[in-house]
Structure 1
Amino acid sequence: MDKSCKRIIIGIDDTDSREGMCTTYLGALLIDELSDFCNPVGDPLLIRLNPTIPYKTRGNASVAMCFNCNEPEKLIGHVVSRISSLARMECENTNPGVVFIMEEDFGKAKPLLSEFFLHAVRDVISIEEAKSLAENLGLTFRAFKNGRGLIGALAACGAMLDKEWEHTYEFLTYRKTEACGTKRFVDSDSLFEADLRTYPGTWDSVDRFNELVVCVPRSPDPVLYGIRGNTRFAVEAAVAMVRSEEIERSCIYRTNQGTDMHLMHTQGVDDVLDMHSYMLEGTVATASHTIRGGHSIFILEDDSGKTIDCAAFEPTKNFREIIRKLIPGDRVIVYGSVMESTLNIEKIQIISLAQLVENRNPLCPSCGKRMKSAGTGQGYRCRKCATESLETQSLQVKRDLEAGFYEVPPCARRHLAKPLIRFRDSDASLFPGR
């Protein structure tokens, strides 16, 4: 290797809009183009940020990549030019940011940017905070429009510098430019077959219960489909089985998707804030009720007596049936994000079930048959024996529910939410008896 070559990390965010473009596509394009005069180092990164941020365009993802390069100015100029020409600048909510970190700055940048990375996944960060950090570290960066993309760009750089975090992979394929905006062709049967043959190494390609394809987007962006999995080998094996329209390019990203990195432990409701995500333990205080739109909501009470609404929204489909079976007294841990003082449930652990008791007409002590009502306020009477009673009989009813973990279906899963199949692989102690 040329001794004049030095590593350069590039972080990019917020180049897309709801009408088109995709930051991961720009990353894939730049990897191909920069490879003409630079050498890629390691895996490119796809980093999902705080999923509750209202300014996000679609998936709130940033990207980072690393190169060995002896022409840093040429690299910087090319990247800035590509962002300027491809980012959807006409969109009010598209505010790109790009950060370049030279090898000599890795040491001083790593501790602060590693912390910033986790902060960006879990908390709310201001544009001013991001700009101040980049300036104080003396980094080369470019903020377009209001520069909100600097937040994700810095976070992605932090992830590249600090590789000690749980990761998965996504194999993303991209459409030819002339096909963008038209109906995608990805053969559904081939996706279900690929899922069957590579699961649980890959996951969330399809939703078998609801018979839906999950990995093909509906928005008018360049992504054709994306396969998520635990290893590069698994996603490559699945993609090899997929039949689709011709692709322009593809890229395998290392990512924090499917890791629950956004979730924080909290001791109680008093510590819960909007636009943050939590694991919160408590007791079901009310049975769920269904509101207009099909959303099911119950009240959870923590150990101090404070309460919060917990919701399984309509897109979670069959998961709502689990929530509807909860009764007061059930002990649970809810996992999810809080918006407008309501926790949007991504999965739930039922720790223990309360006893369900039903009051029934009493049995006749003489003939063993159930008595009939004798009239309002008059108790019960056996029609055969004329035996009378003023008391009902309380019976414990078997619950149609078991303790354990339950999750939303793949069609409703957030990018960062960890599927239970991945818990079973890495956290077997959470599934006693399985």
Structure 2
Amino acid sequence: MIIGIDDTDSNEGMCTTYLGALLLEELQEYGTVEALPLLVRLNPTIPYKTRGNAAVALKLKTACPERVIAHVTSRIEELARMECEKTNPGAVFIQEKDYENLKSVLMSFLEEAVKEVIEIEKAKNLIAELGIISRSFKNGRGLIGALAACGAMLNPEGWDCTFEHLAYRQKEKWGTPRDVDKESFFEADRQTYPETWDTVDLTNRLVVCVPHSADPVLFGIRGESPEIVNKAAALIRAEPVERFTVYRTNQGTDMHLLTAQKIAEIRDMHSYRLESTVSAVPKTIEGGHVIFAVRDLEEGEIDCAAFEPTKNFRSLIRKLVPGDRVVLSGSVTTGTLNIEKIEIKALAPLYTEENPKCPECGKHMKSAGQGQGFRCKKCRTQAQSLLKIRCEAERDLEPGLYEVPPCARRHLAKPLAREKHLDIRLYPAR
């Protein structure tokens, strides 16, 4: 049996992955766990998500499915933050005899849930049409993520994957400040990067794998294999851990990105990879956000942003000039593309105006006064032209692929530490 669960947490606490970790242990009373649990991140732009928009799936060999369903339902009723308006849990149960029949349709549903906007009714109708056992609470929006997570479990080879070691706090500690040795995270990063990533942000001297909300997670280490994330986690010094679980995930895969052929097809609440040309000088607005526009061959135009949380990445964006050819990756909300990565493909020439140089000493002349040209006081030479000389300036920017720093990276965005196969120059943010 495959069990998919979603939407049990809230902005104030709880975590669907914690429920998954509990069930992973408890359900062994009814059978044998057959695979690593799955953590699937869905469309990051959905406005009614709680925090990270994650769903989980477990795979269990069992001879008593009814007892499993009852146990899972009871645990959701007990632990889900039902008082939160955005918390609308859902669980689905795929029986082993249906694995092959449902594999294709639920894998397609996963792709759609990660890249598109799905209405609750579509999930409910699919469940009814396919005869899938389900449980839902309140409006049942969690059925969307639950189905998607089952799709991932049914076809584990059909998508790129990474792994995350999630350590959970003892229950009496929930809601209190986390007691961790920050330097141990930097040491773990030194010993395991680039096979692990987003543990720390070296440039901004931040630990980024420790959440700040009241949920049960103490820390999460992301990486290429269960072995490497466990190695990094073993180096962490922190408060006692109640339990830990290694999840297989779609984090760090760019699974959310659609390819936009033209700007006119771009829609809010979707994420894209878009090749275009910078059409406006980047401007820093109130709040420290950097905004500029890009245009495609059909004269479509869209605003792009490096928001304040991207920190030093904004300095790179400020160096862009109209005419630069770029490939942008990011999510679109309220008509603006929030940049996650930028590939600079070609730089436009940048021109400046300078005073002419003295033919004797080679230094730039000074203005001789309005309408009187230029002169060199030292050599007493003059230039009768009233116009400055147009010169091509050297660009303080190199073609290549750049990313936001770890402190600003979204769960699904693929870090450059994983892009070693690309035949372009990489500038990983550390």
TM-score by length of 1: 0.96
SS at match of 1:35: helix
**1:113-262 residue pairs with structure 2 within 5 A?**
113-163=106-156, 164-262=158-256
- Secondary structure in 2 matching 1:233: helix
- Is structure 2 residue 413 aligned with structure 1 residue 417? yes
CA distance in 2, matches of 1:352, 1:387: 37
**1:16 paired residue number:** 9
Once the two structures are TM-superposed, the CA of residue 356 in structure 1 deviates from its matched residue by 1.2
* 3-state SS in 2 of match to 1:401: coil
1:18 counterpart letter in structure 2:
N
- Quick one: which of 336, 342, 362 aligns to 2:356? 362
Aligned counterpart for 1:278 among listed residues 272, 277, 284: 272
Matched, 1:77 2:73: no
Structure 1 match to 2:399: 403
* Deviation (angstroms), 1:357: 1.1
Q: How far apart are the structure 2 equivalents of 1:368 and 1:410?
A: 47
For 1:350, which of 325, 334, 344 is the aligned residue? 344
CA distance, structure 2, for counterparts of residue 432 and residue 408 of structure 1: 12
Single out whichever of 183-192 and 253-262 deviates more from structure 2: 183-192
Alpha carbons of structure 1 residues 259 and 105: separation in structure 2 relative to 1, 3 Å: same
User: Cα deviation per residue 1:380-417 (whole Å; 9 max; x = unaligned)?
Assistant: 34441244222211222111110001100000000000
Measure how far apart 1:378 and its partner are: 4.3
Given the alignment, which residue of 42, 47, 50 partners 2:35?
42
Tell me the residue number matched to 1:391.
387
1:335 pairs with one of 303, 324, 329: 329
State how far apart, in whole Å, the 2-side matches of 1:233 and 1:94 are: 34
> 1:366, CA displacement in angstroms?
4.9
**Aligned equivalents of 1:387 and 1:209: distance in 2?**
49
- CA positional deviation for 1:171: 0.3
Q: Does 1:92 align with 2:85?
A: yes
- Measured after TM superposition, the shift of residue 432 of structure 1 is 8.7
| Aligned partner letter, 2:166 | L
CA–CA distance in structure 1, aligned partners of residues 382 and 265 of structure 2: 60
Q: What's the C-alpha RMSD, in Å, of the aligned pairs?
A: 1.4
Amino acid at match of 1:263: L
Aligned-partner residue type, residue 155 of structure 1: A
TM-superposed CA distance for 1:306, in Å, is: 1.0
Q: Distance in 1 between the 2:282 and 2:7 partners?
A: 38
What is the Cα deviation at residue 372 of structure 1? 2.0
Contact conserved, 1:382 with 1:388, CA < 8 A, in 2?
no
Q: Report the alpha carbon displacement of residue 303 of structure 1 after superposing the two structures with TM.
A: 1.5
* Letter of the 1:403 counterpart: P
Structure 2 contact 403–427 (Cα < 8 Å) conserved? no
| Cα deviation code 1:149-181 (max 9, x no counterpart) | 000000000111111110000000100111101
Which is worse superposed, 31-40 or 60-69?
Answer: 31-40
Displacement of 1:433 in angstroms is: 12
Matched, 1:311 2:305: yes
Task: Give the superposition deviation at 1:200.
Answer: 0.8
Q: Distance in 1 between matches of 2:93 and 2:343?
A: 42
Q: 1:72 to 1:289 in 2, by over 3 A?
A: same
> Any gaps of 5 or more consecutive residues in structure 2?
none
Could you tell me how far apart the structure 2 residues matched to 1:290 and 1:57 are?
A: 30
Amino acid at match of 1:335: S
Contact 1:108 1:137 survives alignment (8 Å): no
Instruction: Name the CA shift for 1:388/1:240 in 2 (closer, same or farther; >3 Å).
Output: same
**Contact 2:399/2:425 (8 A) holds in 1:** no
Q: Which amino acid aligns with 1:188?
A: K
Give the drift of 1:368. 3.4
**Equivalents in 1 of 2:407, 2:324: separation in Å?**
27
- Among 46, 57, 60, the residue aligned to 1:53: 46
The runs of 4+ residues in structure 1 deviating greater than 3 Å are 364-369, 374-379, 430-434
- SS of match in other structure, 2:338: strand
Residue 33 of structure 1, aligned match among 26, 31, 36: 26
The one-letter code of the counterpart of 1:406 is: Y
SS at match of 2:105: helix
CA distance in 2, matches of 1:433, 1:114: 33
What's the CA shift for 1:377?
4.4
Opposite residue 186 of structure 1, the aligned amino acid is: V
User: Equivalent pairs: percent with the same residue?
Assistant: 59
**Residues 254 and 414, structure 2, Cα contact 8 Å, conserved in 1:** yes
CA distance in 1, matches of 2:384, 2:363: 12
1:297 aligns with 2:291: yes
**Is contact 1:407-1:420 (8 Å) kept?**
yes
Would the aligned equivalents of 1:258 and 1:415 in 2 still touch at CA under 8 Å? yes
CA–CA separation in structure 1 for the residues paired with 2:257 and 2:121: 25
Q: CA deviation at 1:367?
A: 4.9
Q: In 2, are the aligned partners of 1:381 and 1:389 still within 8 Å (CA)?
A: no
Q: Distance in 2 between matches of 1:105 and 1:20?
A: 35
